[in-house]
Amino acid sequence: MAPKARKSNKARRSAGGAKKSVSIEMVKEAVAALGDRNGSTINAIFNYLVRTKKVSQSSRTLVILAIGRACREGSMAKKSPKSFVLRAGGKRKASSPKRRKRKAKRARKSTAKKSASKRRRRQRKRRTLKKKAKRSTKRRSRKTASKSAKKTRKARRSQKPKAFKRPAAKTMRGRPVRRAARRINYRE
């Protein structure tokens, strides 16, 4: 069998469409042409560029990157998580020092709140762990007490019964009381 001929780069490009760099202007033009009030999705923008600007099918990532650059620049904005619109003012204005201070203050406040809530969560966790530990120790002590009680009961049962002992003779001031012996006269 004859070895397969390798396709050249030119042939590959012509099959998939020549890769064309996608600029911000092209993306903006696509969004303007689509004119969707709720914003144009990446797929819609990409398909428009493929149809009109002869962008290759494999250059979807270039379109996404161009959209990202336009958003960073300020000429486009996100309307929803999946759609983009043109900004009326064009490029983003440089923020004033007052605005920057306000932003920094808000950021500090939010971090302080987060740290405080974390602290509270940690304290709650510690409390619950302590309570659990106390409960477990109580349960253990109860179990050991019940076990020892069972052992003593078993020991009592296994012991031999004690022999009956007569009560000791009554004493009067430390001396034994003598019982009067009955004298019986056998000679009668």
Residue 5 lies in a domain: no
How many domains does the chain fold into? 1
Q: How many CB atoms lie within 10 A of CB 142?
A: 10
The CATH number given to whatever domain includes residue 49 is 1.10.10.10
pLDDT along the chain (188 residues), means of 10: 56 54 89 89 92 89 91 88 82 67 82 83 88 79 72 73 68 59 59
The verdict on residue 109 lying in a domain is: no
The answer to the question of residue 71 being in a domain is yes
Residues spanned by the domain of 77: 24-86
Among 92, 56, 51, smallest CA distance to 74 is for 92
Question: What pLDDT was estimated at residue 30?
Answer: 92
Please count the other Cβ atoms lying within 10 Å of the Cβ belonging to residue 17.
14
Query: Does residue 77 belong to any structural domain of this protein?
Result: yes
Q: What is the pLDDT of residue 44?
A: 93
Report pTM: 0.41
**How buried is residue 100: exposed, middle or buried, by Cβ count under 10 Å (0-12/13-18/19+)?**
exposed
Instruction: Confirm whether 47 is domain-assigned.
Output: yes
Q: In the structure encoding, which two tokens stand for residue 6, read together?
A: 């390798």
pLDDT at residue 48, rounded to an integer: 93
Domain contains 42: yes
